[in-house]
Structure 1
């Protein structure tokens, strides 16, 4: 197995100088949203008895939000989590060839660090949301939210607790990306530009 094959991953080639822990953290970040997406779709679209459904809601109404909203929320959250892989992959350092006008050019460090840092900071509110839910409250402190009992509560926590790791993992990856890129701010290696 040559070095090129070894550094190849399912989500693109891993950038030079990225340690294994960072790669594992990036993949773990993508998985933090998956259990909650599955729970949300199962409970709100397929009416699996994972929570108490309002008696006045039509079984397929997904609590009046619409099934499309639940699917969109799940897809968008998974896509945003996947962007963490860009902090360890070559496509996070060099624009891919399918982007007109930018193909092969270096991604400015702050173009990745600023949105990732803001995202990590915003995601730090999630543990607060979980505590509020535990007390039967919404983020604003009002009584409400999903109602679960017994085993439903255990399944809910198992599905949503991984989201609490999303912000910290993204924060650590963002700091690592920034430090690694600032240390390698020289000209782009020819092979890296060609590979993009």
Structure 2
């Protein structure tokens, strides 16, 4: 006789549920090309290096708790926003999920998706281009001169690593724009159907 009764492990189903949720979040909707799928899956990956690059600063003794929280939240928020690009190719970007009361199962209006995505793509593109230009000119957005050794005051491989991690962000806005246009084209009402109405 065993000293303790056998209890079924409730965590055994957990990986299966996680896998199903992962597949549901990433499964493309009908009519999405393989090319657009790859573009959508690329967006969170190009944001990831900069998110990871920031995290070691959390362990710096020279910063306060508020700054640590800001760094972690900024990294999490960046990835969450980048993940919304997958909604432009996935089913959850076309039909409201079950967990949203009153809207569950209803079709997401095209404008509700396209307008915020287009604004996001524009802001990201302009923001990264402006940041790149100010970096190359050695000034801030306000026009203040940056220190002569910015951001290379760290020096050597650390500066190179900074640029390697942040350079992919330049693609975030343009890739989001491509996905937004593809989403809009997939969901626009054909003109011949409007003529019949």
- Relative to the length of structure 2, the TM-score reads 0.76
Q: Is the 8 A contact 1:109 1:181 kept in 2?
A: yes
Q: Which residue of 2 aligns with 1:32?
A: 46
Q: Moved runs in structure 1, 4+ residues, more than 6 A? A: none
Q: Which residue of 1 aligns with 2:118?
A: 117
For structure 1, the 5+ residue unaligned runs are 1-7, 48-58, 187-196
Number of residue pairs matched? Answer: 166
The 5 Å alignment of 1:81-100 reads 81-100=82-101
Report the secondary structure of 1:99's partner residue: coil
Could you tell me how far 1:131 is from its partner in structure 2?
Answer: 3.0
Which structure exhibits the higher relative contact order, with contacts defined as CA atoms closer than 8 Å and separated by 6 or more residues? 1
Aligned-residue RMSD, C-alpha? 2.3
Alignment pair present for 1:46 and 2:48: no
Q: Is the 8 A contact 1:116 1:174 kept in 2?
A: yes
Distance in 2 (CA, whole Å) between partners of 1:41 and 1:137 is 25
- Structure with the larger helix share: 2
The 5 Å alignment of 1:61-140 reads 61=63, 66-125=67-126, 126-140=128-142
Larger radius of gyration: 2
Q: Which residue of 1 aligns with 2:35?
A: 21
Distance 1:130 1:90, change over 3 A: same
Q: Which residue of 2 aligns with 1:143?
A: 145
For structure 2, the 5+ residue unaligned runs are 1-21
- Relative to the length of structure 1, the TM-score reads 0.77
